[in-house]
Structure 1
Amino acid sequence: MGVEEAKRIVMNHFASAARRFGFNELYGYIYGVLFLAREPMSLSEIAEATGYSLSHISSALKFMERVGLVVRIKKPGDKKAYFRATKMLKDWREVAYYNRIVEDIQQTRTNLERALKELEGEEGEEAEFIRESIEFAIKRNEIAERIIRLILEHRDEEILERLVNCLEKSGR
């Protein structure tokens, strides 16, 4: 029972993570099954392991392959497609989390710039206060975007560790 229960816990974890990040829980179940698989799995094997239909699995795998969470593998002499997880938990987070943050940062920048444009030609204490507040928010937003892009662009854990250490030292 221990092995099966451990598998169930991992699959449920990824399904919950998928839901938290606004994705269908099926993506999490599939990722969990593939993450724990010793060998690449076929569409029908994944369907059997998750309990979902072949059509649902097929659609989900197309999306997951497109965003880099799974890789399609062809075996010589076999017409079936096989899949394996990227085995990189950070890939899951990038797709599900960091890319959504980047979208939010970009939307924030767009809205702040629109608001700033509306203040063009406006005079007075309130207009100046709002302008300064928006400009401050734009600068903070730019810094946030740079940090997130750094995380997304650098696969080297050592660089990210140095960044964390630097930030922790400056925060003391």
Structure 2
Amino acid sequence: MGVEEAKKIMMEHFANAARRFGLNELYGYIYGVLFFEDEPLSLGEIAERTGYSLSHVSTALKLLESVGLVKRVKKPGDKKAYYTAIKNIREWRREAYYKRLEEDIEQTKINLTRALKEIEGDDSEEAKRIRERIEFALERNAIAEKIVNIFLKNDEDEVLKKILECVEKKIREE
């Protein structure tokens, strides 16, 4: 089997993960290529290793960079952009996933509050129904905000262990 076979297995895993998220397999292959490299690679090197065109790889790298899975780096004295994968998935979840959730929660709170102000003083039946729905959404949004903040401010593994302990205890009690 060996190293190359292990890399091939993981490359397919990353490609399949991309497919599961509705993306082209190229996204997974790019991440896989970068995942196994110790040094950043140029756009051309990534295109060569994946077998895809420069334009396809460039487009995919922009998305991977925007979601925080890939980081663009510069080498001193070189004008080319180089790319490296975020290999610590815990770091990725904290910096990309949870921070984006936090931003979405904040934006949701702002918009729900704005919508609620728009129907202030309106006592129609429709306004009452909408107000109830918005207030319910605000309550759920506040819960989501607390949960995300717990993950951002604490060690993720510890939080998950505590959650599992609580759930398992609750199940045993029932």
> Do they superpose with TM above 0.5?
yes
Separation of aligned partners in 2, 1:19 and 1:104: 24
What's the TM-score once normalised by structure 1's chain length?
Answer: 0.64
How far does residue 149 in structure 1 lie from its aligned partner after superposition?
4.9
Q: TM-score of the superposition, structure 2-length normalised?
A: 0.63
Q: 1:83 Cα shift?
A: 1.1
Residue 74 of structure 2 corresponds to residue 73 of structure 1: yes
Aligned positions of 1:80-95 closer than 5 A: 80-90=80-90
- AA partner of residue 59 (structure 1): T
Residue 15 of structure 2 corresponds to residue 9 of structure 1: no
Q: Output the aligned Cα RMSD.
A: 4.1
Unaligned runs of 5+ in 2: 114-131
Mapping 1:141-156, distance limit 5 Å: 142-144=142-144, 146-151=146-151, 153-154=152-153, 156=155
The answer to whether the Cα contact below 8 Å between 1:40 and 1:73 also exists between their aligned partners in 2 is no
Q: Distance in 2 between matches of 1:57 and 1:93?
A: 23
Residues 8 and 155 (structure 1), Cα distance of their counterparts in 2 relative to 1, 3 Å cut: farther
8 Å CA contact retained: 1:154, 1:160: no
Number of aligned residues: 170
Q: Percent identity?
A: 59
* Structure-2 change in CA distance of 1:171 and 1:105 (3 Å): farther
Partner of 2:123: none
Unaligned runs of 5+ in 1: 114-131
Residue number in structure 2 paired with 1:126: none
Paired letter, 2:170: G
- Separation of aligned partners in 2, 1:59 and 1:8: 23
Contact 1:68 1:91 in 2 (8 A): no
Secondary structure of the residue aligned to 1:83 is strand
Asked if the contact 1:11/1:29 (under 8 Å) is kept, the reply is: yes
The one-letter code matched in structure 1 to 2:22 is G
Runs of 4+ in 1 over 4 A off after TM superposition: 91-106, 132-142
AA aligned to 1:73 is K
CA drift of 1:34 comes to: 0.7
Q: Is the 8 A contact 1:105 1:141 kept in 2?
A: yes
The structure-2 alpha-carbon separation of the partners of 1:161 and 1:80, relative to structure 1 and needing over 3 Å to count, comes to same
